[in-house]
Homo-oligomer: A and B are copies of this chain.
């Protein structure tokens, strides 16, 4: 059973709590309160699966674990406020190293004025860090991936593939241009909280954070919104020095690499100008990379224009169309 089928099998078909606005099915859940909505999400990193000590200092593990969670809040348009940390600690980790994990989290938390308000520490065979984040968003301003509409522009923030490039450099030492930049993008990604939360005056905008790769996230938007997304390969934003890596890897990383924690989204043409202004104000690179279509036969699908051909871009990998 894949994760998607599994989530569907455990998902409730109806909810009992009247204050719940959004349950399972987006980057985070949304709970209604009288003056604002509360957003919360949980994410777990396991040693050997999501990180290794070969490429991450304990400090980075903490920083990045919290960043992944905060990025989920950014994708909802929410401002982070609190976090709770549950950590499974094997005997092979010293208390000093574990402490550094918390110091890394705190570094990121401080940027966003987040408070550590709870947690649990237990012993086990492999290190795993599970973080719950709680944030606030204006009433009815949570950004759902189900709201993309025909004619919307598709956009992405920042540059793609950087995190995987950083991982490549860390595991294949050598001479690279912008080596420090790529390593930092892998070890210390900065979630796009400021950009996302400043869009509050735009009535409808869709965000999905890039944790599993743009191909995956674009498909999630297409499926949830019952539309199709058309993307242009040439438009996908990359850093200048990205071209130093083998072309096959470039292609793979920017489409399927993930962990860049940038935002993929859609917005109406009339709000595009406003969004560009917000991007400038928050120093956020913003690029138009395609559009939303609703031709009935392609609902829930994503297509990539590349070298004058069009491919169906699937969640993992892609297949030739015409």
Interface residues of A, Cβ cutoff 8 Å to B:
1, 3, 6-7, 9-12, 15-17, 19-20, 23-24, 28-29, 31, 33-35, 38, 40-46, 48-50, 81-82, 84-86, 88, 95, 98-99, 102, 113-126, 128, 130, 132, 134
Closest B residue to A1 by CB, please name it. B95
Instruction: Identify the interface centre among A48, A85, A99, A125: most chain B CB within 10 Å of its CB.
Output: A125
Q: Which 5 A-B pairs have the closest CB atoms?
A: A29-B117, A130-B130, A132-B132, A1-B95, A46-B124
The smallest beta-carbon distance between A5 and chain B, in angstroms, is 9
Closest B residue to A113 by CB, please name it. B16
CA distance in complex: A117, B31 (Å): 10
CA distance in complex: A124, B15 (Å): 30
Verify B17–A113 contact, CB threshold 8 A: yes
Q: Which residues of B contact A40 (CB under 8 A)?
A: 84, 117-118, 132, 134
Verify B31–A34 contact, CB threshold 8 A: no
The smallest beta-carbon distance between A139 and chain B, in angstroms, is 12
A-B contact pairs, 25 of them (CB 8 A): A9-B99, A17-B81, A17-B114, A19-B81, A20-B117, A23-B115, A23-B116, A28-B118, A31-B134, A33-B33, A33-B34, A40-B84, A40-B117, A40-B132, A40-B134, A44-B122, A45-B122, A46-B88, A46-B123, A46-B124, A48-B124, A49-B122, A88-B128, A128-B128, A132-B132
Assuming A6-B121, A124-B49, A132-B84, is B16 touching A116 (CB within 8 A)? no
Apart from A48-B125, A86-B130, list 7 A-B contacts with CB within 8 A.
A12-B115, A31-B117, A42-B120, A45-B122, A46-B122, A46-B123, A88-B128
Verify B115–A44 contact, CB threshold 8 A: no
Closest B residue to A115 by CB, please name it. B15
Assuming A29-B117, A34-B35, A81-B19, is B122 touching A124 (CB within 8 A)? no
The smallest beta-carbon distance between A62 and chain B, in angstroms, is 10
Assuming A6-B95, A122-B49, is B117 touching A24 (CB within 8 A)? yes
Q: Which residues of B contact A28 (CB under 8 A)?
A: 118
CA distance in complex: A166, B175 (Å): 62
Contact of A43 among B34, B86, B117 (CB under 8 A): B86
CA distance in complex: A113, B34 (Å): 21
CA distance in complex: A45, B123 (Å): 10
Verify B130–A44 contact, CB threshold 8 A: yes
The smallest beta-carbon distance between A89 and chain B, in angstroms, is 9
Q: Which residues of B contact A126 (CB under 8 A)?
A: 124-126
Assuming A17-B82, A124-B128, is B10 touching A116 (CB within 8 A)? yes
Instruction: Identify the interface centre among A1, A9, A24, A120: most chain B CB within 10 Å of its CB.
Output: A120
Closest B residue to A87 by CB, please name it. B44
Instruction: Identify the interface centre among A3, A119, A128, A130: most chain B CB within 10 Å of its CB.
Output: A130
Contact of A84 among B3, B42, B119, B124 (CB under 8 A): B42
CA distance in complex: A93, B43 (Å): 21
Verify A86–B44 contact, CB threshold 8 A: yes
